A = this chain, B = another copy of it.
């Protein structure tokens, strides 16, 4: 199976609607950048690297529709498109990274038609590089996986999240392809159940043995010696190695250290934000209370209950055994190691 969460089709972008998985495999035909912004905001496409690709294609699509007489006028209008896409989600840095790259590419062209074509090419290049980075992360990460390992993962950092091969799941897939007989324990990942819905779906498609658990069970299985290592993705990595990732990641990291289980983060270098000193500086998206009080159309809590719903948390670098990037595996001291990648 080649899961394709996003596909450029010249006049539109085909997006696999991840909010409908696993019960329905439905594709959306995204016709303009406003629809793409909505698809990102509503998490029809999600995962830090994938929303980078989605934003790049969204900008390319938006660019095609711009009518302008001068390059300056074109760039002003492109700025509006870019700001709309940038406003969708605050935490994953790949979104801003991809838009910045696209805007730089736009600045380099001269004729408007040339810039429009260059933007499509740049978006395709981002997607391709993303896929190549995933493969390399898989190769490097698989070296950390021993034969017969049981690997715990949280959320979904698979092909669905990267528009490529996957980061955390890329490592697992690479180890699996090498015949290492790995098994996966997937946390369901409330509130939006990316583990139960997306990781389970991807691993069943890949025929990698999987056991689904609730998030509250991760510690129990670690304490019983059932987990050999943890691998997760990342939404943004600070200069000091602090990792912002899906809510619940911090808990898993603390439990891993308490039980002497290695805790790995797999992410492309586009996820690293050297401009932020530590995780404390990274904005944490607060999402709608209904994501907690409703599950797939069913209300589970009393009317009027107050809810908190931070979508991410910060895992301080001291809990992280290694960060696996396409340019190498970095360990403490992260400050030096991460800077050395660039």
Q: Say if the beta carbon of A103 comes within 8 Å of chain B.
A: no
Which residues of chain A from 287 to 342 have any CB-CB distance to chain B below 8 Å in the complex? Answer: 292-293, 295-302, 304-310, 313-314
Question: For A301, what are the chain B residues with a Cβ–Cβ distance below 8 Å?
Answer: 22, 188, 193, 196-197, 200, 212
Q: Say if the beta carbon of A8 comes within 8 Å of chain B.
A: no
- Can you identify 24 A-B contacts, CB atoms within 8 angstroms? A187-B216, A188-B300, A191-B214, A196-B293, A200-B302, A209-B306, A210-B305, A212-B306, A213-B292, A213-B307, A213-B308, A213-B309, A215-B216, A217-B308, A219-B251, A219-B313, A220-B313, A223-B314, A251-B255, A254-B255, A254-B258, A295-B298, A297-B298, A298-B298
- Say whether, besides A219-B250, A220-B250, A188 and B188 are in contact (CB < 8 Å): no
Q: Is the CB of A197 within 8 A of B300?
A: yes
Q: Is the CB of B217 within 8 A of A305?
A: no
Q: Say if the beta carbon of A87 comes within 8 Å of chain B.
A: no
Q: Which of A213, A293, A305, A307 is packed against the most chain B CB atoms within 10 Å?
A: A305
Bound complex: CA A213 to CA B299 (Å): 15
Q: Is the CB of B204 within 8 A of A305?
A: yes
Size category of the binding interface on chain A: 35 or more
Q: Is the CB of A216 within 8 A of B251?
A: yes
CB distance from A253 to the nearest CB of B (A): 9
Question: For A147, what are the chain B residues with a Cβ–Cβ distance below 8 Å?
Answer: none
Q: Is the CB of A307 within 8 A of B212?
A: yes
Question: For A251, what are the chain B residues with a Cβ–Cβ distance below 8 Å?
Answer: 216, 218-220, 251, 255
Bound complex: CA A299 to CA B193 (Å): 11
CB distance from A250 to the nearest CB of B (A): 5
Q: Is the CB of B307 within 8 A of A296?
A: no
Q: Is the CB of A254 within 8 A of B219?
A: yes
Bound complex: CA A214 to CA B295 (Å): 12
Q: Which of A185, A216, A309, A310 is packed against the most chain B CB atoms within 10 Å?
A: A216
Q: Is the CB of A302 within 8 A of B204?
A: yes
Contact check: which of B193, B204, B216 meets A189 at CB < 8 Å?
B216
